[in-house]
C-alpha cells in the first residue's frame, strides 16, 4: 500500500495547521450542559445522514475491500446513534441545526454521490486522528457527568481501521482514481470538521 501511505502522509503534512487548530479548539476546553445538548442535536442529524451516505457508497462500490468497509462504516454510525441516545437528551430529532455545523455532513453526502473510493477513504483516514482525539478529550472531561460511551466509541477505533481505509485508497488508485482529487477531499473534510467545532461556540 505504498502509494496510499505516501498520499496519506502528504495529506497529513498539508493539513497539519488545521489539525493543530482542532487540537487547541476552545470548544474542547469546557463543555457545559447547553453546549453538550447542542452537540448531541447536531450529531443526531450528522450521524443519520452519514449512515445513509455510507450505505449509498457500499451500493456504488460493492466489491471488497471498499464495499465491506463502507457497510461497516454505515453500521458504525448506527451504533454511534444508539450511544448518542445514552447522553440522555430527548427530542434530538427536533434540534434545529446550525448551518456551519453541517457543511461536514453535506460534503460527505456529496462524496457519496460523486466521490471516488480513494477520495472518500483518504478523507476519512486524514480526519481520523483529529476527530478521535477530540472525542477522547471530551470523554475525559465529561466522565463524571454523563455516559461517555459515545465519545469512547470514536476515541478508540479498531486497530486495523486505518489500514482498511488505506486498502480502499490503494484499490481506487489502482483503478484510476485521481490522487489529486483525493487530496482535495481530505483538505475539505478537515476544514468542515473545524467548522463544526466553530459552530458549537458561535451560538
Q: Which grid cell sits at 116? A: 471516488
Residues 158, 132 contacting (CB under 8 angstroms)? no
Q: Say which residue the cell 445538548 belongs to.
A: 37
| Mean pLDDT within 112-129 | 96
Q: How many CB atoms lie within 10 A of CB 196?
A: 24
CA distance 17 to 4: 22
Q: How many CB atoms lie within 10 A of CB 165?
A: 24
Residues 47, 196 contacting (CB under 8 angstroms)? no
Greater confidence (129 vs 55) lies with 55
Task: Report whether pLDDT(203) > 70.
Answer: no
Which of these CATH numbers, 2.60.40.10, 1.10.3720.10, 1.20.910.10, 3.90.1150.10, describes 2-202? 1.20.910.10
Task: Report whether pLDDT(78) > 80.
Answer: yes
Residues 112, 121 contacting (CB under 8 angstroms)? no
Amino acid at each position: 500500500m505504498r502509494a496510499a501511505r505516501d498520499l496519506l502522509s502528504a495529506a497529513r503534512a498539508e493539513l497539519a495547521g488545521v489539525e493543530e487548530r482542532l487540537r487547541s479548539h476552545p470548544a474542547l476546553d469546557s463543555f457545559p450542559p447547553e453546549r453538550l445538548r447542542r452537540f448531541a442535536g447536531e450529531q443526531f442529524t450528522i450521524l443519520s445522514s452519514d449512515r445513509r451516505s455510507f450505505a449509498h457508497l457500499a451500493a456504488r462500490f460493492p466489491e471488497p475491500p471498499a464495499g465491506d468497509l463502507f457497510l461497516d462504516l454505515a453500521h458504525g454510525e448506527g451504533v454511534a446513534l444508539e450511544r448518542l441516545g445514552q447522553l440522555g437528551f430527548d427530542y434530538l430529532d427536533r434540534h434545529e441545526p446550525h448551518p456551519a455545523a453541517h457543511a461536514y455532513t453535506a460534503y460527505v453526502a456529496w462524496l457519496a454521490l460523486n466521490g471516488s473510493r480513494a477520495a472518500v477513504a483518504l478523507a476519512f483516514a486524514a480526519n481520523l486522528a483529529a476527530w478521535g482525539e477530540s472525542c477522547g478529550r471530551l470523554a475525559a472531561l465529561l466522565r463524571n457527568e454523563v455516559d461517555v460511551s459515545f465519545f469512547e466509541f470514536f476515541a478508540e477505533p479498531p486497530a486495523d481501521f486505518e489500514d482498511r481505509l488505506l486498502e480502499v485508497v490503494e484499490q481506487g488508485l489502482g483503478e484510476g482514481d485521481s490522487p489529486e482529487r483525493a487530496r482535495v477531499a481530505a483538505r475539505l473534510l478537515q476544514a468542515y470538521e473545524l467548522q463544526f467545532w466553530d459552530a458549537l461556540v458561535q451560538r
